[in-house]
Amino acid sequence: MPELPEVETVVRGLRDEVVGRRFTHVSCHWPPQIVGLSPEAFASRLVGRCVEALNRRGKFIVFDLSEGALLIHLKMTGRLYVAARGEREEADRWLRAVFEMDDGRELRFSDLRKFGRLYLVSQASQVIGGLGPEPLSDDFTLDEFLARLARRRGMIKPLLLNQRFIAGIGNIYADEALWLARIDPRRRADTLKPHEAERLYHAIRTVLEDGIRYEGASVNWYRKADGATGSYQDHFNVYRRAGQPCSRCGASIHKIRVGQRGTHFCPTCQV
């Protein structure tokens, strides 16, 4: 599933293409992906609305409209891209929604597995109001992280995946951050010493910033808005490297299940 860096990369790639554009026609090809509205109501309400801003919140793509907000969650295989009307793209094989714009182009949503979700609401907070802090924002300070961590007792890996704890982190960046911080993913949050928690705070921000710098990790279906791949997968330290040597200590990387998620770590230098 695309995580914060992947979604941020998609948003950056689309912003200049869609901001200022008005939707002239909307067609929906897989109604179950629309949350809370019929396909007809969803489409008719979008027509005439202008995209005033495009941002990311957690793993959500947020279109601020002239009236209300459109939110899209890509889930596992969702892709969002702009194409000229009549132009065929490879991802069109799994086309689920088309948003025609007033410049003759189309914003297209493709999703092989059909897990992606579309929301049209009066306020974006109706969908994303319960998310935790943005880990790269200035407001997410070390003190804020320590305060949130102090109230938790569960294992640290599932906690990092909890979107109400911190928004935007998924399996890839949780594994990479825990490796960088030298913390076993099975450790309980309340066992982390202050210096370990500080290392984790900085590790989270580092791996997410690196993920954005390399424009995301194209390990499965994720592609940038222009269809190109990201390259963060070329810089993994543990994720998908089971059986390979740890770049820090040389021990073999292990893959286990933590909180029902495949988890990669070094059993020697993550304690």
Q: Judge whether 75 counts as a catalytic residue.
A: no
**What backbone phi and psi angles, to 5 degrees, belong to 231?**
-130, 10
User: What CA–CA distance (Å, rounded) separates 267 from 160?
Assistant: 19
Of the listed 21, 186, 187, 261, which one is catalytic?
261
Q: Judge whether 3 counts as a catalytic residue.
A: yes
User: What CA–CA distance (Å, rounded) separates 133 from 168?
Assistant: 9
Tokens describing residue 54: 């495009």
3 state SS of 187: coil
C-alpha separations of 104 from 17, 84, 108, 133, 174 in Å? 12, 7, 13, 38, 41
Of the listed 2, 5, 39, 158, which one is catalytic?
2
Q: What is the DSSP letter of 68?
A: S
Tokens describing residue 92: 């069109």
Of the listed 3, 6, 17, 215, which one is catalytic?
3
Q: Judge whether 261 counts as a catalytic residue.
A: yes
Of the listed 57, 59, 79, 108, which one is catalytic?
59
Catalytic residues: 2-3, 59, 261
